[in-house]
Chains A and B, each alone.
Chain A
Amino acid sequence: AQTVTQSQPEMSVQEAETVTLSCTYDTSESNYYLFWYKQPPSRQMILVIRQEAYKQQNATENRFSVNFQKAAKSFSLKISDSQLGDTAMYFCAFMKGETSYDKVIFGPGTSLSVIP
């Protein structure tokens, strides 16, 4: 069975600095998707960034980028120029690539606080 681990329950970063959130996963699948979701306080969870396992190039979305190491089964999220609005719970997630309704396996989350 697939598992997703986030070893940092809480992190903090100064505004405008860079922070990296760690995520590791365990799977025997060769085709899958990885996600980072963001859940701001009292607000809806939204997708931050997505990576297909077959793509070697790391995904980037504005200030958010990932470091995808397939052999190491590692999928870290880097947030550059941190802003107060980045304060949120961040969940790493894994999904097999067989059907659109394959189960998404979520990690336990990392609570990120951006300090002014």
Chain B
Amino acid sequence: DVKVTQSSRYLVKRTGEKVFLECVQDMDHENMFWYRQDPGLGLRLIYFSYDVKMKEKGDIPEGYSVSREKKERFSLILESASTNQTSMYLCASSSAGESSYNEQFFGPGTRLTVL
């Protein structure tokens, strides 16, 4: 089974802190994604990566950066956390293969609270 893990289920940080959210997948997937999930808004794409050291902005990249130094790991960085970044953060991965059916596999999520 595909497994996507995230470093923390719950995280509480102070305004202005630098925050790192880590995501690791074990299926050798090429594509990795970071979403934030807010009630009534569904999932919104922050950043994605289709290869090591490659990154592309999603719909809401402001205030975030990402890093992908290894294929299996994709990190989301909040340079200076703000209260409006309090949210659920979901990581996902998918294969680039034609047989992948474009399915994304999700991690359990990190609920971040910024005080």
Contacts and interface: CB of A to CB of B under 8 A. Distances in A.
Interface stretch (A11-19, A40-48, A68-76, A78-86): A40-48
Interface stretch (B20-28, B71-79, B89-97): B89-97
Nearest to B3: A44
Most chain B beta carbons < 10 A, residue from A45, A106, A107: A45
A103 interface: yes
Nearest to A9: B40
Interface residues of A, number: 23
Of the candidates A4, A101, A109, the one having the most CB atoms from chain B within 10 angstroms of its own CB is A101
A33 interface: yes
Nearest to B98: A100
Interface of A: 4, 9, 33, 35, 37, 43-47, 50, 91, 95, 99-104, 106-109
A47 B100 contact: no
B102 interface: yes
Contact of B96 (A44, A101, A106, A107): A101
Contacts of B103: 35, 47, 50
